[in-house]
Amino acid sequence: MLAILEAEELHKSFGDTAAVNGVSFSISEREIFGLLGPNGAGKTTTIRMLSTVLPPDAGSVSIAGHAFSDGTAPVRQLIGVCPQELALYPELSADENLIFFGRMTGLSRAQAKERAAETLQRIGLADRAGDAVRTFSGGMKRRVNIGIALMSRPRLLFLDEPTVGIDPQSRNHIFETVLQLRAEGMSVLYTTHYMEEADRLCDRIAIIDGGSIIALGTAADLKGRLGDPTRVTLEEVFLDLTGQSLRD
């Protein structure tokens, strides 16, 4: 299968902290790739580097054949990023937020409007389109946060813990959306702490700890390491690999 993303030996330190320490992996077309790890493992730092925001100290990345070293402009047209923290303008409506960021990815006003309407439908907020995001519940804000990343119809979508702090209904809605997007041809990098989420959603999973990938494979592969894949849970694998001690 063709790789949409290839990351090779990524390194990033903040002062003395090696946040990411030699991470390599690739994501195939139409793959949902899970990045699983405890707090402070380096998931967000990895995503920030892969989404052109943070220059790595060392290592190389290419997306759809465009190496970052040749400039990040072509890459930015291919990616959509949903950051871990909400990144929205609270005083503006959902519609205005979507249209603005859509415009920033190069859509014309008309395109952005049309795409926003479509996206609002997809994230189940069509009836609240005109309300200020400030007045939304946590789950609704999360959905807008994802919606913005979808505006450019990216080929590769980065979702950094998109389901934190939301109810099962909203979470389910997000799962459905992600699966739907893959069916439409999108590739996804998905980070989470929720094992059952990764188990259900991801084609392959990388477990990252202390800035390094310590295991990589399908959910079944990973479970197989501990015993019968039908009886072992991903959580058991995770705790086995990363240990029980508290992080951060």
Ligand X SMILES: Nc1ncnc2c1ncn2[C@@H]1O[C@H](COP(=O)(O)OP(=O)(O)OP(=O)(O)O)[C@@H](O)[C@H]1O
Residues interacting with ligand X, by CB under 6 A?
A: 14, 17, 19, 37, 39-45, 84
CA distance 19 to 146: 25
Answer yes or no whether residue 106 interacts with other proteins by CB under 8 A. yes
Indicate the length of the chain as a whole number: 248
| Residue 1 interacts with other proteins (CB under 8 A): yes or no | no
- The span of 100-108, 195-203, 208-216, 218-226 binding other proteins (CB under 8 A) equals 100-108
Cβ closer to other proteins: 67 or 92? 92
List Cβ neighbours of 110 (8 Å cut-off, separation of 6 or more): none
Q: Does residue 17 interact with other proteins by CB under 8 A?
A: no
| Residue 152 near Mg ion by CB under 5 A | no
Q: Which of 60, 84, 212, 218: binder of Mg ion (CB under 5 A)?
A: 84
User: Quick one: CA dihedral 238, 32, 61, 112, positive or negative?
Assistant: negative
**Residue 44 found at the interface with Mg ion (CB under 5 A):** yes
Q: Buried (b) or exposed (e) across 167-202, using 16+ Cβ within 10 A? A: eeebbebbeebbeebbeeebbbbbbbbbbebbbebb
CA distance 152 to 206: 27
Q: Which is nearer to Mg ion, 28 or 84 (CB)?
A: 84
Neighbours of 221 (CB within 10 A): 14
Residue 226 binds other proteins (CB under 8 A): no
Q: In the complex, which residues of this chain contact other proteins (CB under 8 A)?
A: 48, 51-55, 73, 76-77, 79-81, 83, 85-92, 96, 100-101, 103-106, 108-109, 132, 148, 152
